Amino acid sequence: LFGFIFFIVIGQVFKFYVSFDFLENSGLVVIKLWFFKLKQFSVQFKKDGIVIRTGKQVEEVKYAFNDPKLKFVQDFSKEVMEKTKVKLVDIYSNIGTGDAQGSALLSSSVNVLWKILMAKIKNTKPTCTVDITNQTFFNDKVFNVRVFSKVSLSIFYALYSLIFAWLKSSNNT
């Protein structure tokens, strides 16, 4: 019983792998707890929503941007972010427009954007380790981003946030 309570209350380390290719409009998200894959799905953005493919069979789920499920996810993520301890964020980006000057300008602008976003994370979560690697391709058309992150979250706080977001979304409908 003590071990179960200890497991629920102490923060567990989750690993997130996110990769997105903006030219092909396709991405992959993997969520792990220790060495177990909790969830793996691919993402594609369309005009009428988001297409998510999960599992071994191709299953497409379209969400409209005004879908109540997305409102629930937004409320849940807001609650969880307050209780999450970000330990590590690694960003790797490959950028190229086929033109040397355009590639350099776009790559440096995106690098500045990453530093602004990571400064916000570093200011709110000071124990976080941030690493940004930006590679410029001068002769190729490439635009992909990979993010690796480790966060610590107590299962108790995750359940609390889930219930709170569910109550909030059920009261709004």
Structure tokens at 150: 């480790």
Residue type, position 84, single letter? T
Other Cβ atoms closer than 10 A to 159: 11
For helices 155-172 and 2-9, give the axis angle rounded to 10 degrees. Answer: 60
Residue 105 has pLDDT above 70, yes or no: yes
What is the 8-class DSSP label of residue 22? T
pLDDT bucket at 55, cuts 50 / 70 / 90: confident
Q: What is the pLDDT of residue 149?
A: 93
128 to 89, 113, 123, 150: CA distances (angstroms): 7, 18, 9, 9
Contact 16, 147 (CB under 8 A): yes
Q: Which pLDDT tens digit goes with each residue over 123-154?
A: 888 888 899 999 999 989 999 999 999 988 88
Closest by CA position to 135, among listed 169, 99, 111: 111
In terms of average pLDDT, the best of 20-34, 65-79, 158-172 is 20-34
Average pLDDT over residues 8-27: 88
Distance CA 173, CA 71 (A): 11
Structure tokens at 36: 């177990």
* Average of per-residue pLDDT values in the chain: 84
